[in-house]
Structure 1
Amino acid sequence: MINKFDAALSFHQNALRVRGQRQELIAANIANADTPNYKARDLDFGAAMKNAMAGVANKEAFNTNKTSDKHLDGIPSSIGGGAMFRPIIQGSVDGNTVDMDVERNQFADNAIRYEASIIMINGQLKKMLAAIQGQ
């Protein structure tokens, strides 16, 4: 019985996980908008979802360099798909590739899609509850 619940909700569960990790990447881009030589990163949502649905966990997807032994490893629970560098739209003198207009748009778009997934999960749960209660 639990496997049927998992199967019914697994797509949206994985979508929420991928969207959450993408939101973290976009937020890091925004936070580092003034950091010299920072390269904007994003997640290939389609590839990450394919890997998540296949059960692939790519620990190297969010690989970071440690400059001190006191730094954390920086490997969150990854779903695969890999974080990639964004193409440079407008170069800057300090080597930073963050375009705040792009980042804000991607952040808002991802947040709306995250909310849509939550609404869909709530709808599925309500249907299951109604079926269980015999309504």
Structure 2
Amino acid sequence: MNVNRLTQKLDFQAQALTLRAERQRVIASNIANADTPGYQARDMDFSTALKAATGHLPVAGQMATTQAGHMALPGNASPTATALRYATPSQTNLDSNSVDMDRERASFAENSVKYEATLRFINSHVREMLDAMKSPTQG
């Protein structure tokens, strides 16, 4: 088994963990601005961001890398920025603030659980790789 195949799963989970942390930041920002007049809540389309981050979906405005020697152009949009959307308000507010605290709390809790699950997966994968590298005499 080559090194690329060993690290491929771990790289995917690392990307997912990074995106989960970024989504948590976006949700926390929404919660912090719940009383800010005119604030428009944002959320991340996680699956789109993950596909873009892992190369399974081209990022909008980004040129495809068709050769190993191709370099990224400066100013290309990040996968996170591409997947960031305005949240649809559940009801209209007089101050034009679109933060729905019930939705934000639920999203925050759900994302926290998924972040923790991803972190546990990475830890168990690393533990398995370390156990596989031990000699039979190390037990």
Answer yes or no: is the 8 Å Cα contact 1:16–1:114 preserved in 2: yes
User: In the aligned structure 2, how far is the partner of 1:102 from the partner of 1:4?
Assistant: 39
Superposition map of 1:89-104 within 5 A: 89-104=90-105
Q: Which residue in the other structure is 2:72 paired with?
A: none
Instruction: Give, in whole Å, the separation in 1 of the partners of 2:34 and 2:114.
Output: 24
Deviation at 1:58, TM superposition (A): 5.6
Question: 1:23/1:59 Cα in 2 relative to 1: closer, same or farther (>3 Å)?
Answer: farther
Give structure 1 stretches of 5+ with no counterpart.
61-76
Unaligned runs of 5+ in 2: 62-76
Cα distance, 1:116 vs structure 2: 0.2
Cα distance in 2 for partners of 1:78, 1:13 equals 16
Deviating above 2 A after TM superposition, structure 1's stretches of 4 or more consecutive aligned residues are: 1-6, 55-60, 77-82
**Count of residue pairs the alignment pairs up:** 119
Code of the residue aligned with 1:45 in structure 2: it is: F
Q: What's the TM-score once normalised by structure 2's chain length?
A: 0.76
Percent identity (aligned): 40
Q: How much does 1:11 deviate?
A: 1.2
Task: Report the equivalent of 1:7.
Answer: 8
Contact kept in structure 2, 1:56 and 1:79, CA below 8 Å: no
Match of 1:21 in 2: 22
Aligned ranges 1:1-135 → 2 under 5 Å? 3-54=4-55, 78-80=78-80, 81-134=82-135
Q: Deviation at 1:6?
A: 3.1
- Distance in 2, matches of 1:51 and 1:39, equals 24
What is the CA–CA distance in structure 2 between the aligned matches of 1:8 and 1:44, rounded to whole Å? 21
2:48/2:57 contact within 8 Å kept: no
SS in 1 for 2:54: helix
Out of 2-11 and 94-103, give the one that drifted further: 2-11
RMSD of aligned C-alpha atoms?
Answer: 2.3
